[in-house]
Chain A
Amino acid sequence: MSENRYELNKNLAQMLKGGVIMDVTTPEQAKIAEAAGACAVMALERIPADIRAAGGVSRMSDPKMIKGIQKAVSIPVMAKARIGHFVEAQILEALEIDYIDESEVLSPADNTYHIDKTKFKAPFVCGARNLGEALRRIAEGASMIRTKGEAGTGDVVQAVTHMRAIQSGIREIASLREDELYNKAKELAVPLHLVEYVHEHKKLPVVNFSAGGVATPADAALMMQLGAEGVFVGSGIFKSGNPEKRAKAIVQAVTNYNNPKVLAELSEDLGEAMVGINADEIEILLAERGV
């Protein structure tokens, strides 16, 4: 991938900032998401809560389903490939997908290697639990990062943990002396130039969203106040009682995340939230896939 293409891909993520990316499984849901103000949709056959319930191996979605969603909306369409499954990624690129999510929500295809994302023209977003994971994914060519959280639970605790870990990792690097950066790069198992970037700019070199367990406008605003630049909402919308209303409220909450009065209004009368499962009561932790 040329440097120029990588910059363009990072730039698309800039345009998504302050927005909500919603998981959708049908063209109808995609239209609801777009009408509610989603800045992009993630096309997948089953939302994470259902993947979790069904068990078994979870793979890239049927291209026919993805194409249906691309036709239905004008906003960017993302789709998931399994960790390390570079052929699924090739297929998604051939579909001209706007962003590929190399995602722990699907079953990993490789226990050691992630996709070499520098070999693709299409942009990639990857999950991370801490700064080391985030920088390793960026070194592999990711042009956008999201927290892993714990998808399909409606429990925001892991997303909070991961966002705090990334932010405190950034603050730590910012506070180091220059002659301490090499050792930090070694500790994190990441290239030195990325540690130097974080030291100088006090931020990741790519846009950083939050994902995994966001179910309410308050959850979304919490992630924004903790430093997220936007939010992915997976199961939280279409597993709730009133998806249209909840989607719209979460979009507005991300814009006005610092305004409790607006958040109070938005949180009113949204109907049933998705039925949550506590992240510490579940057997398979998706976030532990691909580190």
Chain B
Amino acid sequence: MTIAVLALQGAFAEHEKILNALKIDTFQIRTKADAEREFDGLILPGGESTTIGKLLKDLEIFDVLKRKIENGLPVFGTCAGLILLAKDVVNDNRKYFDVMDIKAHRNAYGRQLGSFEAISTFGNIDNVPMVFIRAPFIESAGEGVEILSVVENRIVAARQKNILVTAFHPELLPDYTAIHQYFIDNIIKK
């Protein structure tokens, strides 16, 4: 199994480390040719969604990945990745992949002083440590979206078919692999 990690900007190296610890092969997408390779899953890491979104288009990677996601490629977006996948972002008129039936709120907890940590559940997994950095949350989700985590009455993780998103950053906890394992077991292998 090979998982590609979008490596245009942000915390992509951290995702690779976790996947490599799970004995998964990875490679980085930085060009259109990288995006056109064959792979079984895709990770859209945390970072700045405006920066990553802009680079996706400038480097002509966008159309290739959008087509693959629409054709069922398993994709996992964290934080900025959630924004890139959402069909609707309440406080931003920029649109990116536009594939998941969620209404997201960008920088929803305010500036850096609003960043925080929490422990909550994710689907059937208890005691999941969650790090939120200038994070978004999901204001509402359409039918067909499975809600996986709720923190302080806000949806912070969800899944729709081949798409998994978290508002928090599992990649920032190098020893915690459960969320990546969920992506592999429940989305890629199914």
Within 8 A of A (CB), among B20-54: 30-31, 46-48, 50-51, 54
**Separation in Å of the B35 CB from the closest CB of chain A?**
13
**Separation in Å of the A89 CB from the closest CB of chain B?**
14
Q: Knowing that A11-B172, A12-B134, A17-B13 are A-B contacts, what are 4 other residue pairs whose CB atoms are under 8 Å apart, sorted by A's residue number?
A: A8-B131, A14-B46, A74-B107, A255-B55
Instruction: Give every chain A residue within 8 A of B47 (Cβ-Cβ).
Output: 15-19, 39
The complex places the Cα of A97 from the Cα of B46 at a distance, in Å, of 20
The complex places the Cα of A44 from the Cα of B92 at a distance, in Å, of 25
Question: If the complex has contacts A19-B51, A39-B48, are A96 and B111 also in contact, measured as CB distance less than 8 A?
Answer: yes
| B79 to chain A: closest residue by CB | A15
Question: If the complex has contacts A11-B131, A19-B10, A74-B106, are A251 and B51 also in contact, measured as CB distance less than 8 A?
Answer: yes
Measured as residues with beta carbon below 8 angstroms from the partner, the interface class of chain B is 35 or more
Instruction: Give every chain B residue within 8 A of A7 (Cβ-Cβ).
Output: 117, 131
Partner among A70, A75, A262 whose Cβ is within 8 Å of the Cβ of B51: A75
**Lowest 3 CB-CB distances: which A-B pairs, in order?**
A37-B54, A18-B9, A98-B112
| B45 to chain A: closest residue by CB | A15
Q: Is the CB of A8 within 8 A of B116?
A: yes
Within 8 A of A (CB), among B143-173: 169, 172
Instruction: Give every chain A residue within 8 A of B13 (Cβ-Cβ).
Output: 17
Partner among A12, A252, A256 whose Cβ is within 8 Å of the Cβ of B133: A12
Interface size on A, residues (CB 8 A): 39
Instruction: Give every chain A residue within 8 A of B55 (Cβ-Cβ).
Output: 37, 251-252, 255
Asked if A34 CB lies within 8 Å of chain B CBs, one says yes
Asked if A4 CB lies within 8 Å of chain B CBs, one says yes
Asked if B186 CB lies within 8 Å of chain A CBs, one says no
Q: Is the CB of A252 within 8 A of B112?
A: no
The complex places the Cα of A200 from the Cα of B80 at a distance, in Å, of 31
Instruction: Give every chain B residue within 8 A of A259 (Cβ-Cβ).
Output: 30-31
Partner among B12, B30, B110 whose Cβ is within 8 Å of the Cβ of A256: B30
Q: Is the CB of A15 within 8 A of B58?
A: no
| B107 to chain A: closest residue by CB | A74
Q: Is the CB of B48 within 8 A of A19?
A: yes
Question: If the complex has contacts A39-B9, A255-B8, A255-B55, are A15 and B46 also in contact, measured as CB distance less than 8 A?
Answer: yes
Q: Is the CB of B116 within 8 A of A255?
A: no
Asked if A99 CB lies within 8 Å of chain B CBs, one says yes
Asked if A35 CB lies within 8 Å of chain B CBs, one says yes
The complex places the Cα of A7 from the Cα of B117 at a distance, in Å, of 10
Partner among B79, B131, B134 whose Cβ is within 8 Å of the Cβ of A98: B134
| A8 to chain B: closest residue by CB | B115
Offer 13 A-B interface pairs, CB within 8 angstroms, sorted by A.
A8-B116, A12-B112, A15-B11, A15-B48, A15-B79, A15-B133, A17-B47, A34-B50, A39-B51, A40-B48, A96-B111, A96-B112, A248-B58
Instruction: Give every chain A residue within 8 A of B14 (Cβ-Cβ).
Output: 14
| B169 to chain A: closest residue by CB | A11
The complex places the Cα of A38 from the Cα of B51 at a distance, in Å, of 6
The complex places the Cα of A34 from the Cα of B11 at a distance, in Å, of 19
Asked if A36 CB lies within 8 Å of chain B CBs, one says yes
Asked if A76 CB lies within 8 Å of chain B CBs, one says yes
**Separation in Å of the A33 CB from the closest CB of chain B?**
10
| B80 to chain A: closest residue by CB | A15
The complex places the Cα of A37 from the Cα of B7 at a distance, in Å, of 14
The complex places the Cα of A187 from the Cα of B107 at a distance, in Å, of 43
Question: If the complex has contacts A74-B107, A251-B55, A255-B59, are A18 and B12 also in contact, measured as CB distance less than 8 A?
Answer: yes
Partner among B10, B59, B110 whose Cβ is within 8 Å of the Cβ of A18: B10
